[in-house]
Amino acid sequence: MKLASLKEGGRDGTLIVVSRDLARAVKASAIAPTLQAALDDWSNAAPRLNALSEDLNAGNAADAFALDMHALASPLPRAYEFVDGSAYLPHVERVRRARGAEVPKSFYTDPLMYQATSAGFLGPRDPVVVPSEDFGIDLEAEVVVVTDDVPMAATPAQASEHIQLVGLINDVSLRGLIPGELAKGFGFLQSKPRSALSPVLVTPDELGDAWQGDKLHLPMRTWLNGAWFGEAECGVDMQFSFAELVAHVAKTRPLTAGTIVGSGTIANEDTGKGASCLAEQRTVETLRDGHPSTPFLKFGDRLKIDVTDAGGASIFGSIEQQVEPHKA
């Protein structure tokens, strides 16, 4: 099934079930008012939501309406946790090589992860608002999963059973602020503003054979100002599966239902697939030419992120955003 949230109904939106073709939707208020409420009681809510989804896709859902992407909030307008990883090591390897540094051996066995911003997520058509272009505005096209309650010290096999939803995210990064923050040795803060989730989150069974080994096996397609930017393969060169990432986070603490876990920027060894963030493209250019030639995002720039099935139909709906200046 596919789940989304309308902007109406307060800070956590109103839960809706969306048809497989993303054309129709129906409110799920009788089952759960919000997606967070559904996740809090997932074992009871999921079968009922699935039944409503079947009715919707069969054309039998009462009060179904045409889906308007602009009316959607983030599926989870806010979350208890968003923990992001960097599971695609070709990206890490290239960035460090451009600096003349090697990748520590531990990176191949111990995931890189950090506690990200979760107090609010942008809707899939909301603008990316930043105070200054000088901050080095970048997109990062990633895959995310959402869990139910995960017990402390869960193994990867156990963690896999707690992955309930899959989606996309534009993990906005301000590259000009990152070096100074990392130099303090305390992690990201100002360099990681709010990100945007895909219009819908889907259950893994909705993905069929494209979900194997707790990885999404489809290309991540990105466009900038209408021009092709990349289509890196999500299932290739991912060092750690989502089950391994979830287990890593849960090593010393339980995870609350609604926890979002990100893959990190999709990147392949094959640079012919393009890039999923500007920092990656600039690194490829630096290694090839000695300097970057692609600029970071400017006000007025437009981005699009999407994943499609074998027939070319969007699975999660596309993230489409414009970069705009903050107005006090």
Domains of the chain: 2-71 (no CATH), 76-325 (3.90.850.10)
Cα–Cα distance for residue pair 110/287, rounded to 1 Å: 26
Per-residue confidence in pLDDT tens, the chain, 328 aa: 999 999 999 999 999 999 999 999 999 999 999 999 999 999 999 999 999 999 999 999 999 999 999 999 999 999 999 999 999 999 889 888 877 888 899 999 999 999 999 999 999 999 999 999 999 999 999 999 999 999 999 999 999 999 999 999 999 999 999 989 988 999 899 999 999 999 999 999 999 999 999 999 999 999 999 999 999 999 999 999 999 999 999 999 999 999 999 999 999 999 999 999 999 999 999 999 999 999 999 999 999 999 999 999 999 999 999 999 999 8
Match 């080095």 to its residue by tokens: 136
Predicted pLDDT of residue 98:
79
Whole-model pTM: value is: 0.97
Predicted pLDDT of residue 199:
98
Cα–Cα distance for residue pair 281/229, rounded to 1 Å: 9
Beta strand residue intervals within 79-136, DSSP E: 82-85, 113-115, 128-130
Residue 171 exposure: Cα atoms within 13 Å on the Cβ side = 31
Beta strand residue intervals within 210-315, DSSP E: 211-212, 215-216, 219-224, 227-233, 260-262, 302-306
Cross-strand bridge partners of residue 83:
115, 261
Dig out the tokens for 209 from the structure: 């054979």
Cα–Cα distance for residue pair 235/216, rounded to 1 Å: 5
Cα–Cα distance for residue pair 280/98, rounded to 1 Å: 11
DSSP state of 277: B
Residue 174 carries which side chain, given as an amino acid letter? L
SS3 88: strand
Predicted pLDDT of residue 103:
87
SS3 255: strand
Predicted pLDDT of residue 88:
96
139 with 170: CB under 8 angstroms? yes
Cα–Cα distance for residue pair 153/81, rounded to 1 Å: 17
